[in-house]
Structure 1
Amino acid sequence: MAPPFTNADFDAAIAEFQRPLEQTVTDEGWEAAGKVGELQLFRRSSKADGYEYMARGELVDVKPDIGHDVFVDLDYRRRWDQYKEDTLRVVEHDLAAKKASSDEEADAGCPKALHRIYWQQQHRWPIQNRDYYLWRESRRQDVDGETTWIILTRADTTANEPEHAGCIRVHDCRQTVVLQASPATPFSTSVYVYYREDPRGTLPTTLFDWALTKGVPAWMKRFVQACDNYGTGSYEGNILDGVPELTRVLDESMKKAFAF
């Protein structure tokens, strides 16, 4: 099996992280879509059905190594994001280590971890649930003298596991996350995030709008709180924050859809 990610993929992620934001926005047609703390959110229409998203800026009072560990630790993620084990789990562990031990390709000073993950996104009727089999590789490497964490995720297009009843299997999904110590703010992290997917089916625009105005800010609040509590053995958070608002938005969308 060919590796899901190459060194060139990681080089491209670093190049996007280092590229001036104004140049990225102007050259690639991104539109400002909001702000969460010191993170600016952008989106643009995707060739698929939906949008592509980008976030640039800083996570204040979150160190990059902690941000990385909280992001990739799925056991902890199930606690602070309240997923069940059957909807978010690692299917195959640490494939990079197995590959390195077998063909001696371990790169000194560039620790990496490759996992295969199952993820199910559960939605309220009438939107069908989506599920994903994903490759995710994380690397820590030196970039211009700064320790940098790069996390690449994409759909496993060769997955042959049967689809779950009531779920639409997403075959086109990609995410890039780059984290590096902020040069301007002590104990904080410079961030680049890119995300896109083809959800395979029509989703109401109200869902995309809610995600930007309510869903992402609520998730970021939980993420920062999870970083604060990482390693303490405690977490107080609730993924249900904002759900009543989402319910209201979807109800209004349904009323409009079936109004005569």
Structure 2
Amino acid sequence: MELSFPERLFRESWGELEAPALDGGWELFMESTGFTVYRLYDQQSGLYEYKVFGGLSDCPPQLCVDVYMDLEYRKQWDQYVKELYEEESERGKFIYWEVKYPFPLSNRDYVCVRECRDLDVAGEKVWVILAKSVTVPQCPEKPGIIRVSSYKQSVAIKSDGKNGSRVFMNYFDNPGGMIPSWLINWAAKSGVPSFLQEMQKACKKYPH
């Protein structure tokens, strides 16, 4: 799998900040703490892809991006991180990330690439971060940990015109294994807003 992203994905991500693309089966899932979440059913997996729209007050865009990209800091504020680091491969840098799952479920791990760009859109600065799962030879699957091979995420961030940020996030994650799809879909309902709340707290505590 390629370790880079096509230009159109960056354009599509920042475009959703101005004109959300919700045709083709997207349905309103929930509204919570300033965020609206839509979902799209994926027949193949029985899971949902999500789009999140909202704002982070008192968190300027550059700060949000710095916190989101800082892997070492993520280990401090994200309680589900077991292992997280960036490494170089022949085709470029990749990230290894092991996520803690509650007993008796096995932990999951990800091998993924991501890219952050700050773009000038009609004289306004917009940051776009893209990530996806990849396969690299030097990072084989580990016994007792389930490898997540189907993961993608895009985030677009811009100023809200005050001291905060407007945020768009699109993601799909199939954790695999023997977890029933209804349980995964149920967990997403609390997982989406709680992650954004934790990130907002992390922004306020970020050691500049």
Shorter chain as denominator, the TM-score bin is 0.7 to 0.9
1:36 deviates by 2.7
Looking at structure 1, the residues matched to 184 and 2 of structure 2 have their Cα atoms a distance apart, in angstroms, of 36
Query: Secondary structure, in 3 states, of the residue corresponding to 1:71?
Result: helix
Query: Secondary structure, in 3 states, of the residue corresponding to 2:139?
Result: coil
Looking at structure 2, the residues matched to 120 and 51 of structure 1 have their Cα atoms a distance apart, in angstroms, of 22
Q: Which amino acid aligns with 1:145?
A: G
| Corresponding residue for residue 9 of structure 2 | 9
Query: Secondary structure, in 3 states, of the residue corresponding to 1:139?
Result: strand
Q: Is the 1:87–1:121 Cα contact (8 Å) retained in structure 2?
A: yes
- Greater per-residue helix proportion: 1
The structure 2 residue matched to 1:198, chosen from 170, 174, 177, is 174
Q: Which amino acid aligns with 1:31?
A: E
User: Quick one: structure 1 residues 30 and 159, their matched pair in 2 at CA, closer, same or farther if it must change by over 3 Å?
Assistant: farther
1:171-194 CA distance string (max 9 Å, x none): 2211000000114xx111111100
| Corresponding residue for residue 87 of structure 1 | 83
Q: Which amino acid aligns with 2:143?
A: A
Q: Is the 1:32–1:43 Cα contact (8 Å) retained in structure 2?
A: yes
Once the two structures are superposed, the pairs formed by residues 32-71 of structure 1 within 5 Å of their partners are 32-49=28-45, 50-71=47-68
* Structure 2: 5+ residue stretches without partners: none
Looking at structure 2, the residues matched to 210 and 169 of structure 1 have their Cα atoms a distance apart, in angstroms, of 19
Q: Is the 2:55–2:160 Cα contact (8 Å) retained in structure 1?
A: yes
Looking at structure 1, the residues matched to 3 and 183 of structure 2 have their Cα atoms a distance apart, in angstroms, of 37
1:80 deviates by 0.9
| Corresponding residue for residue 107 of structure 1 | none
Looking at structure 1, the residues matched to 87 and 32 of structure 2 have their Cα atoms a distance apart, in angstroms, of 32
Larger Rg: 1
User: Quick one: structure 1 residues 167 and 229, their matched pair in 2 at CA, closer, same or farther if it must change by over 3 Å?
Assistant: same
Relative contact order (alpha carbons < 8 A, sep ≥ 6): 1 or 2 greater? 2
Pairing 1:74–2:71 present:
yes
1:54 deviates by 0.9
The structure 2 residue matched to 1:227, chosen from 179, 189, 203, is 203
| Corresponding residue for residue 99 of structure 2 | 121
Q: Is the 2:117–2:128 Cα contact (8 Å) retained in structure 1?
A: yes
Looking at structure 1, the residues matched to 73 and 138 of structure 2 have their Cα atoms a distance apart, in angstroms, of 28
Q: Which amino acid aligns with 1:166?
A: G
| Corresponding residue for residue 179 of structure 1 | 157
| Corresponding residue for residue 112 of structure 2 | 134
Q: Is the 2:80–2:99 Cα contact (8 Å) retained in structure 1?
A: no
Q: Which amino acid aligns with 2:185?
A: F
User: Quick one: structure 1 residues 33 and 126, their matched pair in 2 at CA, closer, same or farther if it must change by over 3 Å?
Assistant: same
* Structure 1: 5+ residue stretches without partners: 100-113, 233-260
Q: Which amino acid aligns with 2:183?
A: T
- Normalised by the length of structure 2, the TM-score is 0.87
Looking at structure 2, the residues matched to 164 and 189 of structure 1 have their Cα atoms a distance apart, in angstroms, of 38
- Normalised by the length of structure 1, the TM-score is 0.71
- Greater per-residue strand proportion: 2
Number of aligned residue pairs = 206
Q: Is the 1:163–1:169 Cα contact (8 Å) retained in structure 2?
A: yes
CA RMSD for the aligned pairs?
A: 2.5
Looking at structure 2, the residues matched to 209 and 18 of structure 1 have their Cα atoms a distance apart, in angstroms, of 29
1:83 deviates by 5.4
1:70-118 CA distance string (max 9 Å, x none): 111011110111456x61111239x9xxx9xxxxxxxxxxxxxx84100
